[in-house]
Amino acid sequence: MKPIQEIIQKKPWVGWALFLGTVILVFLIGLFASTIVERRAETAEIRVVKPLSDWEPRLQVWGKNYPKEYETYLGTLDTTFRSKYGGSAEISILRQDPELVILWAGYPFSKGYNQGRGHMYAIKDIRQTLRTTSPMPATCWTCKSTDVPRMMNTLTPAGFYKKKWEDLGPEIYNPIGCQDCHDPKTMDLRITRPALIEAFQRQGKDITKATHQEMRSLVCAQCHVEYYFKGKEDKYLTFPWDNSMSVDSMLTYYDKIQFSDWIHQISKTPMLKAQHPDYEIYNTGVHADRGVSCADCHMPYKSEGGVKFTDHKIQSPLNNIANSCVVCHRENEEKLLKNVYERQDKVEQMKKLAQQSLAQAHIEAGFAWERGATDAEMKDILQDIRHSQFRWDFVAASNGFGFHSPNEALRVLGTSIQLSGEARIKTARLLAQKGYSLAVSLPDYSTLESAQKYVGINLEELRKQKEDFLKKTAIEWDRIAAEREKTYK
């Protein structure tokens, strides 16, 4: 083989080719090295810039250390997305379904009930809702703010719950945020609301042994659950999970302690108001069975440059199908969306039937009372109504409109319809025994205005009360909070 020098002497273009090839190779190596350095620099952005105190409530302070997570979390301010049955837009559920006013007659939810918006609106929405024109315990603040763990640390949880809602108004200022779910020293996921820990302890389970994947759902379960306020004065936040998380076990639990949230204005039924049992329903579904966490779908991973992080724009997966659903399901987005709506359509159909039957059951029970029915005669009827409505509400009050577990949602709604039907049959028999027909003239509750008028709600008066509250009390709360923030270090 001829030496390279001899080849170059005879064919000079070979030398130039080698020279240019070497330059290109060096350039590519340099570009590759530069990319590595750049991505390492991007990763370095995650470093902690400023130490955080144990109970730091301010999102913007956490955001200095974790800018990508903070920027995406601000996306919860977006109220433009609407799916067929949900989304982040501010919608009056009572205006969509006026018969809910009948179901909740005598309870604050009959005054105002809107679709939930993003977490950044937690404080604003609880202040503005017409439900907070009634006296409320401080327990109602529990899931609304990063200031809650700080105040529980100061007052103890029991001391916090015993306060009045308005008493803690100046202290509860920052909306749901980082501190609710993360340890400020390690950024590990943590539980900051004692009710969840206590619920598992009563079941003999140690939540501190949960895996990281389990924690990606448990931090959500601090709030997205069914709960009640235990004790007439204590108002201690408690999850009714002692037997299990099923709707059947919860009803057994509530019946045993004879708990009720209110007495129905029309039927005189001792009622239960389901909150938002998302975690319980999720646990009966296929995603939980496959080990998929809440965060996998509602907070999927996101990559920017060389950084992979959790997208904190906590939202419906239907607004981010490509990063949420398609990661596991290989169908196209249109087909996946169709699959979701097919399931939700069936749940919605059953939900409508359940609430229509319930509204009539309440009115017919009220008719029986007017015709001289006794407590003993009405006992079984009221029990059926109580159980029927809690089952309906267990599905209706949960997010996801049944999709978290369609089979369980349909089962629960089916038993709700059965029980309200039995209540109506028993009422008809009772009235027949007393010589009356069940030809009850149903009132007009086809609109929000007519339904609220029937149950005696003066909407204009409520709005005036809320307007006065916001002008006086809420402005003063904001002033006090602003002064306090100047003292933060």
Instruction: Reduce the DSSP state of residue 301 to 3 states and report it.
Output: strand
| CA 132 from centre of chain | 19
| Under 8 Å between Cβ of 365 and 266 | yes
| CA 110 from centre of chain | 20
Bridge partners, 238 (sequence order)? 228
Q: Could you report the per-residue pLDDT of 43-81, keeping only the tens digit for each?
A: 444 455 688 988 999 999 999 999 999 999 999 999 999
User: Sign of the CA dihedral 68, 69, 70, 72?
Assistant: positive
Kindly list the distances between the CA atom of residue 73 and the CA atoms of 310, 347, 471, in Å, as whole numbers in the listed order.
Answer: 10, 31, 29
Rounded Cα gap, residues 150 and 279, in angstroms? 25
**DSSP string spanning 226-289?**
--EEESTTT-EEE---SS-SSHHHHHHHHHHHT--SEE-TTT--EE------HHHHHTTSHHHH
Average pLDDT of the residues in 219-229: 98
Tell me if 421 is assigned to some domain.
Answer: no
Average pLDDT of the residues in 18-36: 60
Boundaries of domain holding 126? 59-331+457-485
Tell me if 44 is assigned to some domain.
Answer: no
> Within 13 Å, how many C-alpha atoms sit on residue 3's CB side?
3
Tell me if 231 is assigned to some domain.
Answer: yes
Tell me if 160 is assigned to some domain.
Answer: yes
465 pLDDT above the threshold of 50: yes
Tell me if 414 is assigned to some domain.
Answer: no
Average pLDDT of the residues in 451-479: 94
**Stronger pLDDT, 32 or 127, i.e. the higher one:** 127
182 pLDDT above the threshold of 60: yes
Tell me if 422 is assigned to some domain.
Answer: no
Mean pLDDT lowest for which of 88-102, 258-272, 428-442? 428-442
Q: Could you report the per-residue pLDDT of 360-419, keeping only the tens digit for each?
A: 999 999 999 999 999 999 999 999 999 999 999 999 999 999 999 999 999 999 999 999
Tell me if 16 is assigned to some domain.
Answer: no
- Please tell me what DSSP assigns to residue 440: -
What total number of domains does the chain contain?
Answer: 1
Kindly report the average pLDDT of the chain as a whole number. 91
CATH number of the domain at 294, please.
1.10.1130.10
Bridge partners, 307 (sequence order)? 304
Average pLDDT of the residues in 38-42: 47
Tell me if 161 is assigned to some domain.
Answer: yes
Instruction: Reduce the DSSP state of residue 469 to 3 states and report it.
Output: helix
pLDDT for the residue 8: 55
> Within 13 Å, how many C-alpha atoms sit on residue 47's CB side?
7
User: For residue 488, what are its two tokens?
Assistant: 């933060």
13 pLDDT above the threshold of 80: no
135 pLDDT above the threshold of 50: yes
Q: Phi/psi of residue 95, each to 5°?
A: -70, -35
Query: Taking the CB of residue 339, how many other CB atoms lie within 10 A of it?
Result: 14
